[in-house]
Amino acid sequence: MAVVKINALTVPAEMREDLEKRFANRAGMVDSADGFEWFELLRPLEGTDQYLVYTRWRSEEDFVAWQQGPAFQRGHAQAAEAAKSQGAQGHGHGQGGPAATGSQVWSFEVIQSAGPKN
């Protein structure tokens, strides 16, 4: 059964641009993972400082395999290294640390789904 993982990231206003750049730099790293179906980075419009990272997987096992695999580790290591170098060079608002001040992962099974009609 398909599963959805939503990572709710608390991101202060001054770190939003950094977070979005970091995700842009990692674009495509999850696309080739076995069982990967969908990714979206959702920017809040009003009333919250939480970004939502939405991924959909064929199964829980596929998600766990990706999370424990080299692509996940490499992607997060690259993001950390980019954050360090941004902080060292003084670019943007980045201080070289995480863009998010908090994170919470929500897991769901997909029990109904609909797509656009052609």
Residue 27 domain-assigned? yes
Find tokens 């029990």 and name the residue: 111
Dump pLDDT digits (tens) for 50-89: 999 999 999 999 999 999 988 777 766 666 665 566 554 4
Residue 86 domain-assigned? no
Integer Cα distance of 65 and 52 in angstroms: 22
Q: Where does residue 47 fall: left (phi above 0), alpha (psi -120 to 50 degrees), or beta otherwise? A: left
The domain tally of the chain equals 1
* pLDDT score of 83: 58
* pLDDT score of 91: 44
Residue 63 domain-assigned? yes
Dump pLDDT digits (tens) for 22-49: 999 887 888 999 999 999 999 999 999 9
Domain CATH code at residue 20: 3.30.70.100
Residue 90 domain-assigned? no
pTM here?
0.80
Residue 16 domain-assigned? yes
Q: DSSP label at 7?
A: E
- Of 59, 58, 50, the residue nearest 99 (C-alpha): 50
Structural domain that includes position 23? 3-72+99-109
Find tokens 């690259």 and name the residue: 78
Q: Please report which confidence band the pLDDT of residue 93 belongs to, taking 50, 70 and 90 as the band edges.
A: very low
